[in-house]
Structure 1
Amino acid sequence: MFVPCAEPVPELSGCTLLMPAVSVGNVGQLAIDLIISTLNMSKVGYFYTDCLVPMVGNNPYATTAELSINAEVYSLPSRKLVVLQLRSIFIKYKSKPFCEKLLSWVKSSNCARVIVLSSSSYHCNDLQLCSSPFRFLLTPSMPKNVQNKIKSLNWKEMEKSQCIPGIEDSEFCVHIPGGGITKVLYKESSSREIPMMVLLKFISEGDNIPDALSLVEYLNEWLQIIKPSVNDSTLSALPWKIPSSWKLLFGSGLPLALF
Structure 2
Amino acid sequence: MPFYNPAVNTKLNKTLIVPIVSTANVSQLAADLLIASLSLHSLGAFDPSFFIPAVGGRDDGDEGISTPFELYGRDDVDLLVLQQRSPTLKSRKQEFVDALLNFFKESGVSSIIFLSGVDLSNRTDAQMMTPIYYIQPQNTPSFPIRDLMIPKYSSPVPQRPQNENDEPDIPFIPGGGLTRRTLASLPREWSIPTLALLQFVLEGDNRADAHMLAIAAAKVAGIGSDIGEWKQPSSWNQGLFGTPHDQTLYG
The alignment status of 1:159 with 2:158, answered yes or no, reads no
State the one-letter code of the partner of 1:121: D
CA contact (8 A) 2:215 2:224 kept: no
Look up the match of 1:107: 105
* CA RMSD, Structure 1 to Structure 2 (Å): 2.4
The answer as to whether partners of 2:70 and 2:83 remain within 8 angstroms in 1 is yes
The answer to whether structure 1 residue 186 and structure 2 residue 183 are counterparts is: yes
Q: Do residues 97 (structure 1) and 107 (structure 2) align?
A: no
Map of 1:243 onto structure 2: 233
The TM-score normalised by the length of structure 2 is: 0.87
Matched residue SS, 1:3: strand
> Counterpart in 2 of 1:204?
202
Q: Is the 8 A contact 2:134 2:152 kept in 1?
A: yes
Aligned-partner Cα distance in 2 for 1:168–1:125: 24
CA contact (8 A) 2:117 2:201 kept: yes
Matched residue, 1:235: none
1:224: how far off?
4.4
User: Which structure: greater strand fraction?
Assistant: 1
Q: CA deviation at 1:120?
A: 0.5
Q: Is the 8 A contact 1:57 1:67 kept in 2?
A: yes
The correspondence of residues 213-252 of structure 1 with structure 2, limited to 5 A, is 213-227=211-225, 239-247=229-237, 248-252=239-243
Counterpart code for 1:57: G
Contiguous gaps of at least 5 residues in structure 1: 230-237
Change in CA separation of 1:223 and 1:195 when aligned onto 2, cut-off 3 Å = closer
**Is residue 78–residue 223 contact of structure 2 (8 Å, CA) maintained in 1?**
no
Which residues in structure 2 correspond to 1:5-84 (within 5 Å)? Answer: 5-6=7-8, 9-12=9-12, 14-59=13-58, 61-84=59-82
Report deviation, 1:142: 4.8
In the superposition, the TM-score normalised over structure 1's length comes to 0.84
* Paired residue total: 242
- Identify the residue that residue 2 of structure 1 maps to in structure 2: 4
User: Contact 2:48 / 2:68 at 8 angstroms: preserved in 1?
Assistant: no
**What pairs with 1:101-140 in structure 2 (closer than 5 Å)?**
101-122=99-120, 123-129=122-128, 131-140=129-138
Identity of aligned residues (%): 31
Distance in 2 of aligned mates of 1:189 and 1:63: 38
What SS does the corresponding residue of 2:225 show, helix, strand or coil? coil
Q: Is the 8 A contact 2:141 2:194 kept in 1?
A: no
Contact 2:139/2:189 (<8 A) preserved: no
